Protein backbone atom coordinates (compact mmCIF):
# COMPACT_ATOMS: atom_id res chain seq x y z
CA UNK A 1 0.00 0.00 0.00
CA UNK A 2 3.03 2.29 0.11
CA UNK A 3 2.45 3.27 -3.49
CA UNK A 4 -1.10 4.38 -2.74
CA UNK A 5 0.07 6.54 0.19
CA UNK A 6 2.24 8.63 -2.11
CA UNK A 7 -0.31 8.77 -4.94
CA UNK A 8 -2.91 11.58 -4.55
CA UNK A 9 -6.37 10.16 -3.96
CA UNK A 10 -8.05 12.44 -6.46
CA UNK A 11 -5.65 11.36 -9.18
CA UNK A 12 -6.34 7.73 -8.33
CA UNK A 13 -10.09 8.35 -8.58
CA UNK A 14 -9.69 10.18 -11.88
CA UNK A 15 -7.56 7.32 -13.26
CA UNK A 16 -10.14 4.73 -12.22
CA UNK A 17 -12.94 6.84 -13.69
CA UNK A 18 -11.09 7.28 -16.99
CA UNK A 19 -10.40 3.55 -17.11
CA UNK A 20 -14.06 2.69 -16.55
CA UNK A 21 -15.23 5.29 -19.07
CA UNK A 22 -12.77 4.00 -21.67
CA UNK A 23 -13.87 0.44 -21.08
CA UNK A 24 -17.54 1.35 -21.40
CA UNK A 25 -16.78 3.32 -24.56
CA UNK A 26 -14.95 0.38 -26.13
CA UNK A 27 -17.69 -2.04 -25.11
CA UNK A 28 -20.27 0.27 -26.69
CA UNK A 29 -18.21 0.33 -29.88
CA UNK A 30 -18.02 -3.44 -29.91
CA UNK A 31 -21.78 -3.75 -29.38
CA UNK A 32 -22.41 -1.19 -32.10
CA UNK A 33 -20.01 -2.84 -34.55
CA UNK A 34 -21.03 -6.40 -33.73
CA UNK A 35 -24.76 -6.23 -32.83
CA UNK A 36 -26.41 -9.40 -31.62
CA UNK A 37 -29.28 -10.41 -33.87
CA UNK A 38 -29.54 -14.03 -32.89
CA UNK A 39 -30.51 -16.08 -29.89
CA UNK A 40 -27.63 -18.42 -30.64
CA UNK A 41 -24.64 -18.21 -28.29
CA UNK A 42 -21.24 -16.97 -29.31
CA UNK A 43 -18.54 -19.65 -29.48
CA UNK A 44 -16.72 -20.30 -26.20
CA UNK A 45 -13.39 -18.64 -25.52
CA UNK A 46 -11.15 -17.05 -22.89
CA UNK A 47 -12.24 -13.75 -21.36
CA UNK A 48 -8.87 -12.08 -21.71
CA UNK A 49 -7.86 -8.74 -20.25
CA UNK A 50 -9.92 -5.53 -20.14
CA UNK A 51 -9.49 -3.37 -23.25
CA UNK A 52 -6.83 -5.54 -24.92
CA UNK A 53 -8.62 -8.89 -24.74
CA UNK A 54 -6.42 -11.94 -25.30
CA UNK A 55 -3.63 -10.11 -27.13
CA UNK A 56 -1.22 -10.35 -24.16
CA UNK A 57 -1.86 -14.10 -23.91
CA UNK A 58 -0.65 -14.98 -27.41
CA UNK A 59 3.06 -14.43 -26.82
CA UNK A 60 5.76 -15.00 -29.43
CA UNK A 61 4.29 -18.32 -30.65
CA UNK A 62 0.58 -17.53 -31.18
CA UNK A 63 -0.11 -20.66 -33.23
CA UNK A 64 1.00 -22.80 -30.28
CA UNK A 65 -0.94 -20.77 -27.71
CA UNK A 66 -4.10 -20.82 -29.82
CA UNK A 67 -3.78 -24.59 -30.17
CA UNK A 68 -3.52 -24.90 -26.38
CA UNK A 69 -6.58 -22.70 -25.86
CA UNK A 70 -8.54 -24.73 -28.43
CA UNK A 71 -8.02 -27.86 -26.32
CA UNK A 72 -9.95 -26.12 -23.56
CA UNK A 73 -12.54 -24.14 -25.50
CA UNK A 74 -13.15 -26.28 -28.57
CA UNK A 75 -12.63 -26.37 -32.35
CA UNK A 76 -14.46 -23.05 -32.92
CA UNK A 77 -13.16 -20.50 -30.43
CA UNK A 78 -14.19 -16.88 -29.88
CA UNK A 79 -11.60 -14.27 -28.92
CA UNK A 80 -11.81 -10.61 -28.03
CA UNK A 81 -8.84 -8.86 -29.62
CA UNK A 82 -8.88 -5.23 -28.51
CA UNK A 83 -11.89 -3.61 -30.19
CA UNK A 84 -12.04 -6.48 -32.69
CA UNK A 85 -13.36 -10.03 -32.39
CA UNK A 86 -11.96 -13.19 -33.92
CA UNK A 87 -12.87 -16.83 -34.30
CA UNK A 88 -10.27 -19.56 -34.59
CA UNK A 89 -10.90 -22.88 -36.35
CA UNK A 90 -8.63 -25.67 -35.09
CA UNK A 91 -9.95 -28.93 -36.58
CA UNK A 92 -10.58 -30.15 -40.14
CA UNK A 93 -14.37 -29.99 -39.69
CA UNK A 94 -14.23 -26.43 -38.34
CA UNK A 95 -11.93 -25.33 -41.16
CA UNK A 96 -14.27 -26.89 -43.72
CA UNK A 97 -17.26 -25.05 -42.25
CA UNK A 98 -15.57 -21.68 -42.74
CA UNK A 99 -13.47 -22.26 -45.88
CA UNK A 100 -15.96 -24.30 -47.88
CA UNK A 101 -19.51 -23.94 -46.57
CA UNK A 102 -19.11 -20.22 -45.78
CA UNK A 103 -16.32 -19.52 -48.24
CA UNK A 104 -17.96 -16.55 -49.97
CA UNK A 105 -18.88 -14.88 -46.69
CA UNK A 106 -15.22 -15.08 -45.60
CA UNK A 107 -13.67 -14.17 -48.95
CA UNK A 108 -12.15 -10.85 -47.84
CA UNK A 109 -9.20 -9.90 -45.67
CA UNK A 110 -9.44 -7.57 -42.68
CA UNK A 111 -7.44 -4.33 -42.87
CA UNK A 112 -4.02 -4.55 -41.26
CA UNK A 113 -0.68 -2.77 -41.19
CA UNK A 114 1.09 -5.46 -43.22
CA UNK A 115 -1.32 -5.13 -46.15
CA UNK A 116 -1.23 -1.33 -45.95
CA UNK A 117 2.49 -0.73 -45.48
CA UNK A 118 4.07 -3.71 -47.25
CA UNK A 119 1.56 -4.68 -49.94
CA UNK A 120 1.00 -1.16 -51.32
CA UNK A 121 -2.27 -0.61 -49.47
CA UNK A 122 -3.57 -4.12 -50.21
CA UNK A 123 -3.06 -3.82 -53.97
CA UNK A 124 -1.49 -7.28 -54.22
CA UNK A 125 -3.02 -10.69 -54.81
CA UNK A 126 -2.85 -11.96 -51.24
CA UNK A 127 -4.59 -9.05 -49.51
CA UNK A 128 -6.64 -7.39 -52.28
CA UNK A 129 -10.38 -7.04 -51.86
CA UNK A 130 -12.26 -9.94 -53.41
CA UNK A 131 -13.59 -8.49 -56.65
CA UNK A 132 -12.78 -7.76 -60.32
CA UNK A 133 -9.20 -6.57 -59.81
CA UNK A 134 -8.32 -9.55 -57.62
CA UNK A 135 -9.84 -11.87 -60.23
CA UNK A 136 -7.79 -10.23 -62.99
CA UNK A 137 -4.54 -10.58 -61.02
CA UNK A 138 -5.38 -14.19 -60.26
CA UNK A 139 -6.28 -14.92 -63.88
CA UNK A 140 -3.05 -13.41 -65.25
CA UNK A 141 -0.99 -15.25 -62.64
CA UNK A 142 -2.61 -18.60 -63.41
CA UNK A 143 -2.42 -18.25 -67.19
CA UNK A 144 1.21 -17.24 -67.37
CA UNK A 145 2.91 -18.54 -64.22
CA UNK A 146 0.96 -20.41 -61.56
CA UNK A 147 -1.57 -22.54 -63.49
CA UNK A 148 -1.00 -26.16 -64.49
CA UNK A 149 -0.15 -25.45 -68.16
CA UNK A 150 2.18 -22.58 -67.26
CA UNK A 151 4.01 -24.72 -64.70
CA UNK A 152 4.63 -27.37 -67.36
CA UNK A 153 5.86 -24.75 -69.81
CA UNK A 154 8.49 -23.50 -67.34
CA UNK A 155 9.81 -26.94 -66.33
CA UNK A 156 13.09 -26.34 -68.19
CA UNK A 157 13.71 -23.23 -66.10
CA UNK A 158 13.44 -25.18 -62.86
CA UNK A 159 15.79 -27.85 -64.18
CA UNK A 160 18.36 -25.27 -65.30
CA UNK A 161 18.34 -23.31 -62.05
CA UNK A 162 18.43 -26.47 -59.97
CA UNK A 163 21.56 -27.40 -61.95
CA UNK A 164 23.23 -24.16 -60.83
CA UNK A 165 22.33 -24.96 -57.23
CA UNK A 166 23.65 -28.53 -57.42
CA UNK A 167 26.98 -27.33 -58.83
CA UNK A 168 27.35 -24.85 -55.97
CA UNK A 169 26.63 -27.66 -53.51
CA UNK A 170 29.22 -29.90 -55.19
CA UNK A 171 31.77 -27.12 -54.86
CA UNK A 172 31.02 -26.88 -51.13
CA UNK A 173 31.42 -30.66 -50.87
CA UNK A 174 34.81 -30.49 -52.61
CA UNK A 175 35.92 -27.89 -50.08
CA UNK A 176 34.52 -30.03 -47.24
CA UNK A 177 32.33 -27.10 -46.17
CA UNK A 178 28.81 -27.30 -44.77
CA UNK A 179 26.01 -25.63 -46.70
CA UNK A 180 23.40 -23.39 -45.10
CA UNK A 181 20.30 -24.98 -46.59
CA UNK A 182 18.00 -21.95 -46.27
CA UNK A 183 20.47 -19.70 -48.10
CA UNK A 184 21.04 -22.17 -50.91
CA UNK A 185 17.31 -22.77 -51.39
CA UNK A 186 16.39 -19.08 -51.25
CA UNK A 187 18.80 -18.18 -54.03
CA UNK A 188 17.85 -21.16 -56.17
CA UNK A 189 14.09 -20.74 -55.86
CA UNK A 190 14.31 -16.95 -56.30
CA UNK A 191 16.20 -17.49 -59.55
CA UNK A 192 13.59 -19.99 -60.77
CA UNK A 193 10.92 -17.37 -60.16
CA UNK A 194 13.09 -14.63 -61.64
CA UNK A 195 13.54 -16.55 -64.90
CA UNK A 196 9.78 -16.92 -65.28
CA UNK A 197 8.97 -13.32 -64.37
CA UNK A 198 11.96 -11.45 -65.81
CA UNK A 199 13.68 -13.90 -68.18
CA UNK A 200 16.86 -13.74 -66.14
CA UNK A 201 18.55 -14.88 -62.97
CA UNK A 202 18.15 -12.31 -60.24
CA UNK A 203 20.85 -13.37 -57.76
CA UNK A 204 24.19 -15.09 -57.66
CA UNK A 205 24.48 -17.97 -55.21
CA UNK A 206 26.65 -15.79 -53.02
CA UNK A 207 26.92 -12.05 -52.75
CA UNK A 208 25.78 -9.07 -50.74
CA UNK A 209 22.68 -8.47 -52.90
CA UNK A 210 21.41 -12.04 -52.57
CA UNK A 211 22.14 -12.12 -48.83
CA UNK A 212 20.23 -8.87 -48.37
CA UNK A 213 17.31 -10.21 -50.40
CA UNK A 214 17.03 -13.33 -48.22
CA UNK A 215 17.16 -11.23 -45.06
CA UNK A 216 14.47 -8.91 -46.46
CA UNK A 217 12.20 -11.85 -47.31
CA UNK A 218 12.56 -13.36 -43.84
CA UNK A 219 11.93 -9.96 -42.23
CA UNK A 220 8.80 -9.41 -44.33
CA UNK A 221 7.34 -12.84 -43.61
CA UNK A 222 8.11 -12.43 -39.91
CA UNK A 223 6.83 -8.88 -39.40
CA UNK A 224 3.69 -9.48 -41.47
CA UNK A 225 2.85 -12.42 -39.21
CA UNK A 226 2.98 -10.44 -35.97
CA UNK A 227 -0.21 -9.72 -34.04
CA UNK A 228 0.11 -5.95 -34.26
CA UNK A 229 -1.76 -4.20 -31.43
CA UNK A 230 -2.62 -1.30 -33.75
CA UNK A 231 -4.56 -3.66 -36.04
CA UNK A 232 -6.86 -4.66 -33.19
CA UNK A 233 -7.07 -1.32 -31.36
CA UNK A 234 -6.99 1.21 -34.24
CA UNK A 235 -7.42 4.17 -31.88
CA UNK A 236 -3.87 3.64 -30.61
CA UNK A 237 -2.40 2.41 -33.88
CA UNK A 238 -0.58 5.71 -34.39
CA UNK A 239 1.55 4.98 -31.31
CA UNK A 240 3.12 1.88 -32.92
CA UNK A 241 3.75 0.44 -29.45
CA UNK A 242 5.66 -2.60 -30.74
CA UNK A 243 7.67 -0.73 -33.37
CA UNK A 244 6.29 -3.07 -36.03
CA UNK A 245 5.00 -0.39 -38.39
CA UNK A 246 8.27 1.54 -38.34
CA UNK A 247 10.10 -1.60 -39.45
CA UNK A 248 7.50 -2.25 -42.16
CA UNK A 249 7.92 1.25 -43.59
CA UNK A 250 11.68 0.82 -43.83
CA UNK A 251 11.30 -2.61 -45.40
CA UNK A 252 8.77 -1.28 -47.91
CA UNK A 253 11.31 1.30 -49.11
CA UNK A 254 13.97 -1.38 -49.61
CA UNK A 255 11.64 -3.61 -51.61
CA UNK A 256 10.38 -0.66 -53.65
CA UNK A 257 13.95 0.20 -54.69
CA UNK A 258 14.62 -3.44 -55.64
CA UNK A 259 11.36 -3.89 -57.58
CA UNK A 260 11.72 -0.54 -59.37
CA UNK A 261 15.21 -1.57 -60.48
CA UNK A 262 13.91 -4.92 -61.74
CA UNK A 263 11.07 -3.30 -63.72
CA UNK A 264 13.30 -0.58 -65.21
CA UNK A 265 15.96 -3.07 -66.31
CA UNK A 266 13.28 -5.34 -67.74
CA UNK A 267 11.69 -2.51 -69.72
CA UNK A 268 15.09 -1.51 -71.14
CA UNK A 269 15.59 -5.01 -72.60
CA UNK A 270 12.10 -5.45 -74.08
CA UNK A 271 13.49 -5.71 -77.63
CA UNK A 272 15.38 -8.87 -76.69
CA UNK A 273 12.14 -10.72 -75.93
CA UNK A 274 10.09 -9.96 -79.04
CA UNK A 275 7.85 -12.95 -79.71
CA UNK A 276 8.86 -14.57 -76.39
CA UNK A 277 7.14 -12.56 -73.66
CA UNK A 278 7.73 -13.46 -70.03
CA UNK A 279 5.34 -13.01 -67.14
CA UNK A 280 6.18 -9.36 -66.53
CA UNK A 281 5.73 -8.54 -70.24
CA UNK A 282 2.22 -9.99 -70.11
CA UNK A 283 1.28 -8.18 -66.92
CA UNK A 284 2.78 -4.88 -68.11
CA UNK A 285 0.65 -5.13 -71.24
CA UNK A 286 -2.39 -4.88 -68.99
CA UNK A 287 -1.25 -1.47 -67.78
CA UNK A 288 -1.97 -0.19 -71.30
CA UNK A 289 -4.74 -2.57 -72.32
CA UNK A 290 -7.21 -3.03 -69.50
CA UNK A 291 -9.30 -6.18 -69.26
CA UNK A 292 -12.92 -6.11 -68.17
CA UNK A 293 -12.70 -2.44 -67.34
CA UNK A 294 -9.99 -3.04 -64.73
CA UNK A 295 -6.83 -0.97 -65.06
CA UNK A 296 -3.58 -2.21 -63.58
CA UNK A 297 -0.97 0.29 -62.48
CA UNK A 298 2.73 0.01 -61.75
CA UNK A 299 1.77 -0.11 -58.07
CA UNK A 300 -0.39 -3.20 -58.66
CA UNK A 301 2.47 -4.85 -60.53
CA UNK A 302 5.00 -4.09 -57.79
CA UNK A 303 2.61 -5.50 -55.20
CA UNK A 304 2.11 -8.65 -57.28
CA UNK A 305 5.85 -9.14 -57.80
CA UNK A 306 6.37 -8.71 -54.07
CA UNK A 307 3.93 -11.57 -53.43
CA UNK A 308 5.54 -13.86 -55.98
CA UNK A 309 9.14 -13.31 -54.92
CA UNK A 310 8.61 -13.38 -51.15
CA UNK A 311 5.91 -16.01 -50.66
CA UNK A 312 7.24 -18.06 -53.56
CA UNK A 313 10.75 -18.33 -52.15
CA UNK A 314 10.12 -18.46 -48.42
CA UNK A 315 7.32 -21.00 -48.16
CA UNK A 316 8.83 -23.62 -50.49
CA UNK A 317 12.30 -23.18 -48.99
CA UNK A 318 11.07 -23.58 -45.42
CA UNK A 319 9.19 -26.81 -46.20
CA UNK A 320 12.25 -28.36 -47.86
CA UNK A 321 14.48 -27.29 -44.96
CA UNK A 322 12.11 -28.82 -42.41
CA UNK A 323 11.93 -32.06 -44.42
CA UNK A 324 15.73 -32.39 -44.61
CA UNK A 325 15.99 -31.62 -40.89
CA UNK A 326 13.48 -34.34 -40.01
CA UNK A 327 15.30 -36.89 -42.17
CA UNK A 328 18.67 -36.06 -40.62
CA UNK A 329 17.02 -36.92 -37.31
CA UNK A 330 15.47 -40.07 -38.86
CA UNK A 331 18.11 -41.61 -41.17
CA UNK A 332 15.91 -44.62 -41.95
CA UNK A 333 13.42 -42.30 -43.69
CA UNK A 334 16.22 -40.76 -45.75
CA UNK A 335 17.50 -44.20 -46.74
CA UNK A 336 14.06 -45.45 -47.76
CA UNK A 337 13.54 -42.35 -49.93
CA UNK A 338 16.91 -42.85 -51.62
CA UNK A 339 16.25 -46.57 -52.14
CA UNK A 340 12.94 -45.76 -53.84
CA UNK A 341 14.61 -43.26 -56.20
CA UNK A 342 17.52 -45.58 -56.96
CA UNK A 343 15.01 -48.25 -57.99
CA UNK A 344 12.90 -45.93 -60.16
CA UNK A 345 15.61 -43.60 -61.52
CA UNK A 346 18.94 -45.33 -60.94
CA UNK A 347 22.19 -43.51 -60.30
CA UNK A 348 23.12 -42.63 -63.86
CA UNK A 349 20.82 -39.61 -64.27
CA UNK A 350 19.06 -36.92 -62.27
CA UNK A 351 15.46 -36.99 -61.17
CA UNK A 352 12.94 -35.54 -63.64
CA UNK A 353 9.62 -34.01 -62.71
CA UNK A 354 7.96 -36.77 -64.74
CA UNK A 355 9.42 -39.31 -62.26
CA UNK A 356 7.53 -37.93 -59.28
CA UNK A 357 4.23 -39.86 -59.83
CA UNK A 358 6.31 -43.05 -59.56
CA UNK A 359 7.76 -42.00 -56.19
CA UNK A 360 4.95 -42.41 -53.63
CA UNK A 361 7.27 -42.38 -50.62
CA UNK A 362 8.80 -39.05 -51.68
CA UNK A 363 5.27 -37.65 -52.00
CA UNK A 364 4.45 -39.03 -48.55
CA UNK A 365 7.51 -37.24 -47.11
CA UNK A 366 6.29 -33.97 -48.59
CA UNK A 367 2.79 -34.47 -47.19
CA UNK A 368 4.11 -35.37 -43.75
CA UNK A 369 6.23 -32.21 -43.72
CA UNK A 370 3.22 -30.09 -44.74
CA UNK A 371 1.32 -31.69 -41.85
CA UNK A 372 3.87 -31.25 -39.09
CA UNK A 373 5.59 -28.07 -40.31
CA UNK A 374 3.05 -26.15 -42.44
CA UNK A 375 4.63 -23.27 -44.31
CA UNK A 376 1.83 -21.00 -43.05
CA UNK A 377 0.92 -21.99 -39.46
CA UNK A 378 -2.03 -19.57 -39.28
CA UNK A 379 -3.93 -19.09 -42.51
CA UNK A 380 -3.93 -15.48 -43.73
CA UNK A 381 -6.83 -13.82 -41.86
CA UNK A 382 -10.29 -13.43 -43.36
CA UNK A 383 -13.31 -11.45 -42.20
CA UNK A 384 -17.05 -12.14 -42.31
CA UNK A 385 -19.10 -9.88 -44.57
CA UNK A 386 -22.37 -10.89 -42.90
CA UNK A 387 -23.40 -12.57 -39.66
CA UNK A 388 -23.62 -16.35 -39.93
CA UNK A 389 -23.93 -19.58 -37.96
CA UNK A 390 -21.25 -22.25 -37.47
CA UNK A 391 -21.69 -25.40 -35.37
CA UNK A 392 -24.70 -23.86 -33.64
CA UNK A 393 -22.81 -20.68 -32.72
CA UNK A 394 -23.50 -17.11 -33.80
CA UNK A 395 -20.68 -15.42 -35.74
CA UNK A 396 -21.24 -11.64 -36.02
CA UNK A 397 -20.54 -9.53 -39.07
CA UNK A 398 -16.94 -8.23 -39.27
CA UNK A 399 -15.56 -11.17 -37.30
CA UNK A 400 -11.97 -12.01 -38.16
CA UNK A 401 -11.21 -15.64 -38.97
CA UNK A 402 -7.97 -17.45 -38.28
CA UNK A 403 -7.56 -21.10 -39.29
CA UNK A 404 -4.87 -22.76 -37.19
CA UNK A 405 -3.31 -25.01 -39.82
CA UNK A 406 -0.53 -25.97 -37.40
CA UNK A 407 -3.09 -27.21 -34.86
CA UNK A 408 -5.03 -29.17 -37.51
CA UNK A 409 -1.84 -31.02 -38.45
CA UNK A 410 -1.36 -32.02 -34.81
CA UNK A 411 -4.98 -32.86 -34.00
CA UNK A 412 -4.88 -36.23 -32.17
CA UNK A 413 -8.45 -36.97 -33.27
CA UNK A 414 -7.30 -36.78 -36.89
CA UNK A 415 -3.72 -38.07 -36.79
CA UNK A 416 -2.32 -41.01 -34.84
CA UNK A 417 0.78 -39.99 -32.85
CA UNK A 418 0.69 -36.51 -34.38
CA UNK A 419 4.03 -35.38 -32.90
CA UNK A 420 5.85 -38.24 -34.62
CA UNK A 421 7.36 -37.58 -38.07
CA UNK A 422 6.13 -40.61 -39.99
CA UNK A 423 5.64 -40.38 -43.79
CA UNK A 424 4.30 -43.94 -43.82
CA UNK A 425 1.00 -42.63 -42.43
CA UNK A 426 0.32 -41.35 -45.96
CA UNK A 427 0.97 -44.80 -47.44
CA UNK A 428 -2.02 -46.33 -45.62
CA UNK A 429 -5.39 -46.85 -47.22
CA UNK A 430 -6.94 -44.30 -44.84
CA UNK A 431 -4.64 -41.40 -45.75
CA UNK A 432 -3.17 -42.26 -49.16
CA UNK A 433 -5.71 -40.18 -51.07
CA UNK A 434 -5.28 -37.06 -48.92
CA UNK A 435 -3.73 -34.26 -51.00
CA UNK A 436 -2.51 -30.77 -49.94
CA UNK A 437 -4.60 -28.96 -52.56
CA UNK A 438 -7.27 -27.42 -50.38
CA UNK A 439 -9.96 -30.10 -50.76
CA UNK A 440 -8.93 -32.40 -47.90
CA UNK A 441 -9.20 -30.27 -44.78
CA UNK A 442 -6.99 -32.59 -42.74
CA UNK A 443 -4.08 -31.21 -44.79
CA UNK A 444 -4.42 -27.59 -45.93
CA UNK A 445 -0.90 -26.09 -45.92
CA UNK A 446 -1.96 -23.59 -48.59
CA UNK A 447 -5.38 -22.82 -47.11
CA UNK A 448 -8.64 -23.57 -48.91
CA UNK A 449 -11.58 -22.04 -50.72
CA UNK A 450 -11.41 -19.22 -53.24
CA UNK A 451 -8.63 -17.47 -51.30
CA UNK A 452 -6.36 -20.51 -51.29
CA UNK A 453 -2.74 -19.55 -51.96
CA UNK A 454 -2.56 -18.72 -55.67
CA UNK A 455 0.78 -20.49 -55.99
CA UNK A 456 -0.20 -23.80 -54.40
CA UNK A 457 0.30 -25.81 -57.62
CA UNK A 458 3.76 -24.36 -58.18
CA UNK A 459 4.60 -24.81 -54.50
CA UNK A 460 3.77 -28.51 -54.59
CA UNK A 461 5.81 -29.06 -57.76
CA UNK A 462 8.73 -27.06 -56.39
CA UNK A 463 8.86 -28.93 -53.08
CA UNK A 464 8.58 -32.40 -54.61
CA UNK A 465 11.07 -31.73 -57.41
CA UNK A 466 13.72 -29.84 -55.45
CA UNK A 467 13.53 -32.02 -52.33
CA UNK A 468 13.55 -35.20 -54.41
CA UNK A 469 16.57 -34.03 -56.37
CA UNK A 470 18.50 -33.12 -53.22
CA UNK A 471 17.78 -36.52 -51.65
CA UNK A 472 18.65 -38.42 -54.82
CA UNK A 473 21.77 -36.45 -55.70
CA UNK A 474 23.49 -36.24 -52.30
CA UNK A 475 24.06 -38.09 -49.08
CA UNK A 476 23.37 -35.86 -46.08
CA UNK A 477 25.12 -35.60 -42.72
CA UNK A 478 25.41 -33.18 -39.83
CA UNK A 479 28.62 -31.13 -39.61
CA UNK A 480 31.36 -32.45 -37.33
CA UNK A 481 30.65 -31.69 -33.71
CA UNK A 482 26.88 -31.41 -34.17
CA UNK A 483 25.13 -34.28 -32.43
CA UNK A 484 21.53 -33.17 -32.67
CA UNK A 485 19.47 -30.55 -34.47
CA UNK A 486 17.64 -27.66 -32.92
CA UNK A 487 14.04 -28.06 -34.14
CA UNK A 488 12.60 -24.91 -32.55
CA UNK A 489 10.28 -22.78 -34.62
CA UNK A 490 10.34 -19.07 -35.35
CA UNK A 491 6.85 -17.67 -35.93
CA UNK A 492 5.83 -15.56 -38.91
CA UNK A 493 3.54 -15.85 -41.91
CA UNK A 494 5.95 -18.65 -42.84
CA UNK A 495 7.14 -21.05 -40.14
CA UNK A 496 10.94 -20.82 -40.11
CA UNK A 497 13.50 -22.91 -38.30
CA UNK A 498 14.80 -20.82 -35.43
CA UNK A 499 18.31 -22.14 -36.09
CA UNK A 500 18.95 -22.57 -39.85
CA UNK A 501 20.00 -26.03 -40.98
CA UNK A 502 23.67 -26.52 -41.86
CA UNK A 503 24.63 -29.85 -43.39
CA UNK A 504 27.42 -31.70 -45.17
CA UNK A 505 26.61 -33.17 -48.58
CA UNK A 506 28.39 -35.89 -50.56
CA UNK A 507 27.57 -36.69 -54.22
CA UNK A 508 26.07 -40.18 -54.54
CA UNK A 509 25.39 -40.49 -58.30
CA UNK A 510 27.78 -41.42 -61.10
CA UNK A 511 30.36 -38.66 -61.72
CA UNK A 512 29.05 -38.16 -65.26
CA UNK A 513 25.73 -36.91 -63.86
CA UNK A 514 27.43 -33.86 -62.37
CA UNK A 515 29.20 -32.83 -65.58
CA UNK A 516 27.50 -29.91 -67.37
Strand 179-180 to 502-507 pairing:
antiparallel
Residue 396 DSSP symbol: -
- Residues 10, 12: Cα–Cα separation, whole Å: 5
Q: Of 131, 61, 116, 93, which is closest to residue 498 (Cα–Cα)?
A: 61
- Residues 79, 66: Cα–Cα separation, whole Å: 10
Question: Reading across the β-sheet that carries 84-89, which strands appear in turn?
Answer: 76-81, 84-89, 400-403, 382-383
- Residues 459, 436: Cα–Cα separation, whole Å: 10
User: Helix 244-268 crosses helix 298-329 at what angle (to 10 degrees)?
Assistant: 110
195 three-state secondary structure: helix
With beta carbons less than 8 A apart as the criterion, state whether 470 and 320 touch.
yes
- The residues, ordered by sequence, that sit 6+ positions from 243 with a Cβ below 8 Å of its Cβ are none
Question: 489: which strand partners?
Answer: 497
With beta carbons less than 8 A apart as the criterion, state whether 44 and 73 touch.
yes
- Residues 470, 475: Cα–Cα separation, whole Å: 9
Sign of CA dihedral 263, 264, 269, 275: positive
Q: What is each CA distance from 497 to 99, 205, 371, 411, in whole angstroms? A: 28, 21, 15, 21
Q: According to the annotation, is 13 in a ligand binding site? A: no
**Strand ranges, E, within 12-145:** 76-81, 84-89
Q: Of 214, 221, 216, which is closest to residue 251 (Cα–Cα)?
A: 216
- Residues 364, 327: Cα–Cα separation, whole Å: 13
Annotated binding site for heme: which residue ranges?
453
Annotated binding site: which residue ranges?
453
Amino acid sequence: MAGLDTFPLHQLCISILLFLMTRLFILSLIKKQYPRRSSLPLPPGPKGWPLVGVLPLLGSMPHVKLAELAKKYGPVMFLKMGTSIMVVASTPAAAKAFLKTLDLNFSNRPPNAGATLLAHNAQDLAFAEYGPRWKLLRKLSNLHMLGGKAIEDWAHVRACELGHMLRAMCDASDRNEPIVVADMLSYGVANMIGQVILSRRVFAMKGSESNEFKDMVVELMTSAGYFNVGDFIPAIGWMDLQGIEKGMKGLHKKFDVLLTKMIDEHTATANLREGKPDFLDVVMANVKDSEGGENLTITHIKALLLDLFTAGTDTSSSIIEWALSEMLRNPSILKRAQDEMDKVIGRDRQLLESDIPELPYLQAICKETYRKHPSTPLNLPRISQEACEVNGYYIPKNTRLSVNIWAIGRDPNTWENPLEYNPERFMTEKNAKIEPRGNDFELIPFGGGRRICAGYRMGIVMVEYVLGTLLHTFDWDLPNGVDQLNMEESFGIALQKKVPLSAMVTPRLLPSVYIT
